[in-house]
Structure 1
């Protein structure tokens, strides 16, 4: 294909980043209010910008790019409001962007006057393509443009009443010859004279993602090797997502030696977006690394971001999407259910649940929507919802039977069945089916037979209340015989399970009774009561009523 050319590889045979891991959080800088805002269909007004600023502070960002005040009166006014109303916490530094033009730099310093801590972010484009097509300028002319801007910023900062930190971006770094990127950044640092105690930020943006993320990592590692004032600078990353690998590029860039990361919540930004800081930070969290950002109430953060940007977070967005903690597949549901059960049983701290990389509770999500039911779902998912909604721990055969009930419904409707509807259907089917036979009470009576017990049962059958008697090895067996003798209702008990539904001596008991009818049907009934005997009787009666309903 003559129309497109492969990106030239970086010659770095002794690269070290593949053997590195991310062990600590970078310095994070949110650019939601500048880079993110300029990419919106409807840019944020002052109220929305203020709400998002407060949210970013609450999350824990210590550096926030608040605008391009020299290019926008709205941004200028917003920066002034933050400063004049003392809305910037003492441990937060605002950052402002400016091109390398004297009049714009002057206006930028007007905007940050009085700020307790500010970063002036100077940039100019350095890529081969933009030098040729946009600026029609030589390498030296572009270097001089950067030097002139850096010099003017240095001179204005010397007269500032508050300290000003410096940041430089060779825009379109990834499309710039690496030796030239080093040259221009060194020229800027020669002006600013950073020290290990007063570091300059060198931001190396993947303004347009041009290659695979390993190439970006090579560029970062090689830049760090070649750059003379490396010990006096913070190397910052600013990736975009044109190839869909912005997060991977930033992760590998950190492994390659970078110190700082710029990005936005949920990846809002030009074209396909910026780095998604939420995803990258929570990726670290799942590896046991504290990201130093608080996403424990991610649902609320998402709500605010959607309101301010008027952009919806996709259902499949990592961590934040509506469906990312949802399993429809039956095998997935079964594995998730067993994983939660195993953690509960062992009481372990380590989160180990199949198909889930993070505990939903850690980011303010609930367990109940983790499993949802449609026509693709299996017994494990259905059983999980019944347990989470009602507390019943279904035996395996009942799981299979009830999942078939639900699948018939979802096959007919073609739609998802909400958890509450699943729970309601369980109660309707197994606990309270149409009540042809009703139990009221029972009392023991004298029995002459050895190893037998006799009981009198108060019941209603087909609307008529009466008392029936029966004997057997216990009250359940006696009731089986009583209704068989009195009404001809012959149901044999095949299987029986029980459990307490909560801790404590006065907890409710659940009983699961499987019966076989004379025509060979096998039907479950479920009962619950503080008395395990009454729970068992109610479960048996529910199964009998289901057999009568089936007739």
Structure 2
């Protein structure tokens, strides 16, 4: 059957709450400044909604987790429903599983026989809460129970009498303390005036509520059937009209049929509620009870301590899901695996900038002692580390990401803070790989791609690899530098005067074969570029160049350098640019490595010239000519051996005066 064109012919809108004329609601102007009392009903309301209800052993594991988290009130069973539930309550009490400051709540319908068995399960308890309930809305009164309002009141009052009598007897026998928690089931669908009338009758029948020993009224949105603001109106109306207000505590129990259970709870607290009943991760009938984790962390994100400890949220989620045989959607608030992850480029850019700015702010607080380390981060309302997560999952890189995502990963893993234009260039490499595989680029894939692209290895990863070099000053005022190996960083090699004329002599691996290149220039950069031009016919210019001090026990310098072909200009955005990266304890070595790294990105499959043949003249030995000439003569049977033309030429070179 298709949806109705006019649903008003089938569905009725929610009713107005009968506030006096001119009444001004208070809840819109309120603000929650303290945590409510938390009641976990995972072991009862949550358990009854499972396809496979928990065994008592599983319930015990979950009970211990709830205690560890910090719940002081836990609804543990429906004892009258069967021996298994009854025995679970007994086991908790008899095995001393219940801490002194934790109250056990059990639920019972408003029937005397079921009440009797339920209270019997709490024998010897330190503090027991009796959750007495019956449905009171018109549809339940008229259809399910076929009761009038008066009959509903009588049924309720008789049940309260039984609870009062039996709890007083148990108190006299064991000293147990009991609290009445009367639930107006289907409260959100009940006439507000009748709900107040019924509540006042219960309060009068109980007869012993005091500010120190309050009666709880559970205002249940058993089925969420109206907007959250209407639920807040109902709570405020009840709050205004219930008697002995200082001896009453309003307990909020929303379900999530409209998907607004959390909002209804938060507004219900503003309207007068002081207690919340729900489940971890929102387990429960239909769409579930309200999620206590979300509520608690919403408070926490506003600077209000919830009184519950979710410091290891991943482990808590794992235990709850295993006990309930359930799973959490990846985008579920706080608990989902992707809720602190950004894939979109604009989000990643904002998060990266936010982390950098916040690190600077927090460093200033540590340095000056002024101000506070407030969390202020784009897109991330709460620090994942407070919940047991790290930052490694904040930014995830896919084909939809931008430059900031890859740059963030590189900074987090390798500590390289790439220049903006280099970020654009490197992301082009990442995006290309991502589009080939149609999959996410993991941290490992991104870092490997970075190392491969820029040759960050002691072993050759490109066609060119700088093994060692020497800078020889050609200016009279400069001192020679020491030889530096690319495999092991040596002492600083930067000449005292950067602009002095120097000669670069380097051992470089070219397509796997070592050769020497030399070049002259003012400073190491120009000298190396001259060597590449004269010996390898590789003519390049250097564009943007940035150096960064890398933190660590053995600080190093990273150089990020853009190389371009002569006569070309790098793009303003950085897209398509070719960059190199060099790392060393010495800034000059870092620079030279960056140049070679960048040239590797440009050289492609270009054919490089063979090494030049170099002839080295012999040392002048003319002074010893008279004594050495015999060494050049070989005698055989009394005859001299005639010299070859090559021998004569070698001799000529050795005695020739320098030009």
Normalising by structure 1, report the TM-score: 0.97
User: Could you say which residue in structure 2 is the equivalent of 1:494?
Assistant: 543
Instruction: Write out per-residue CA displacement over residues 451-503 of structure 1, whole angstroms, 9 at most, x where no aligned residue.
Output: 31223212222222233222222223211111211111212111211111215
User: Could you say which residue in structure 1 is the equivalent of 2:228?
Assistant: 213
User: Could you say which residue in structure 1 is the equivalent of 2:260?
Assistant: 245
User: Could you say which residue in structure 2 is the equivalent of 1:404?
Assistant: 428
473-482 or 259-268, larger mean C-alpha shift: 473-482
Instruction: Write out per-residue CA displacement over residues 428-462 of structure 1, whole angstroms, 9 at most, x where no aligned residue.
Output: 11234842211122223241588312232122222
SS at match of 2:310: coil
Question: Compared with structure 1, are the counterparts of its residues 98 and 550 closer, same or farther at alpha carbon in structure 2 (3 Å cutoff)?
Answer: farther
* 1:177 equivalent among 172, 191, 195: 191
Is 1:435–2:445 an aligned residue pair? no
User: Could you say which residue in structure 2 is the equivalent of 1:61?
Assistant: 71
Q: Partners in 2 of 1:107 and 1:467 — Cα distance?
A: 95
Question: Compared with structure 1, are the counterparts of its residues 49 and 248 closer, same or farther at alpha carbon in structure 2 (3 Å cutoff)?
Answer: same
User: Could you say which residue in structure 2 is the equivalent of 1:2?
Assistant: 9
User: Could you say which residue in structure 2 is the equivalent of 1:77?
Assistant: 87
Is 1:374–2:429 an aligned residue pair? no
Q: Partners in 2 of 1:65 and 1:36 — Cα distance?
A: 10
447-456 or 236-245, larger mean C-alpha shift: 447-456
Is 1:265–2:280 an aligned residue pair? yes
Is 1:475–2:524 an aligned residue pair? yes
Instruction: Write out per-residue CA displacement over residues 59-111 of structure 1, whole angstroms, 9 at most, x where no aligned residue.
Output: 11100000111113221111111111101111111100001111111111221
Greater relative CO (CA pairs within 8 A, separation 6+): 1
* 1:164 equivalent among 151, 155, 178: 178
User: Could you say which residue in structure 1 is the equivalent of 2:494?
Assistant: none
User: Could you say which residue in structure 2 is the equivalent of 1:322?
Assistant: 337
Q: Partners in 2 of 1:495 and 1:543 — Cα distance?
A: 12
Q: 1:447-526 residue pairs with structure 2 within 5 A?
A: 447-448=474-475, 451-502=500-551, 506-518=554-566, 520=568, 522-526=577-581
Question: Compared with structure 1, are the counterparts of its residues 80 and 416 closer, same or farther at alpha carbon in structure 2 (3 Å cutoff)?
Answer: same
Q: Partners in 2 of 1:471 and 1:93 — Cα distance?
A: 84
Q: 1:73-222 residue pairs with structure 2 within 5 A?
A: 73-160=83-170, 161=174, 162-193=176-207, 194-222=209-237
User: Could you say which residue in structure 1 is the equivalent of 2:251?
Assistant: 236
Instruction: Write out per-residue CA displacement over residues 331-381 of structure 1, whole angstroms, 9 at most, x where no aligned residue.
Output: 110000000000001216111111111111111111111110111101111
Q: Partners in 2 of 1:241 and 1:143 — Cα distance?
A: 28
* 1:541 equivalent among 564, 582, 596: 596
Question: Compared with structure 1, are the counterparts of its residues 460 and 411 closer, same or farther at alpha carbon in structure 2 (3 Å cutoff)?
Answer: closer
Q: Partners in 2 of 1:448 and 1:191 — Cα distance?
A: 105
Q: Partners in 2 of 1:270 and 1:103 — Cα distance?
A: 26
Q: 1:332-371 residue pairs with structure 2 within 5 A?
A: 332-347=347-362, 349-371=373-395
Q: Partners in 2 of 1:64 and 1:359 — Cα distance?
A: 29
SS at match of 2:212: coil
Q: Partners in 1 of 2:340 and 2:285 — Cα distance?
A: 28
416-425 or 331-340, larger mean C-alpha shift: 416-425
Cα shift at 1:241: 0.4
SS at match of 2:80: coil
User: Could you say which residue in structure 1 is the equivalent of 2:618?
Assistant: none
Q: Partners in 2 of 1:463 and 1:272 — Cα distance?
A: 66
SS at match of 1:54: helix
Cα shift at 1:519: 8.1
1:459 and 1:468 in contact (8 A); partners too: yes
Q: Partners in 1 of 2:472 and 2:437 — Cα distance?
A: 52
SS at match of 2:18: coil
1:434 and 1:549 in contact (8 A); partners too: no
2:47 and 2:284 in contact (8 A); partners too: yes
Q: Which structure 2 segments of 5+ residues have no match?
A: 1-7, 363-371, 478-499, 571-576, 607-659
User: Could you say which residue in structure 2 is the equivalent of 1:49?
Assistant: 59
User: Could you say which residue in structure 1 is the equivalent of 2:628?
Assistant: none
Q: Which structure 1 segments of 5+ residues have no match?
A: none
Question: Compared with structure 1, are the counterparts of its residues 316 and 550 closer, same or farther at alpha carbon in structure 2 (3 Å cutoff)?
Answer: farther
User: Could you say which residue in structure 2 is the equivalent of 1:285?
Assistant: 300
Paired residue total: 550
Q: Partners in 1 of 2:136 and 2:513 — Cα distance?
A: 92
Q: Partners in 1 of 2:507 and 2:387 — Cα distance?
A: 53
1:70 and 1:107 in contact (8 A); partners too: yes
Instruction: Write out per-residue CA displacement over residues 31-66 of structure 1, whole angstroms, 9 at most, x where no aligned residue.
Output: 100000100111111121111111111111100000
Instruction: Write out per-residue CA displacement over residues 254-292 of structure 1, whole angstroms, 9 at most, x where no aligned residue.
Output: 000111010110111000111011111111111111111
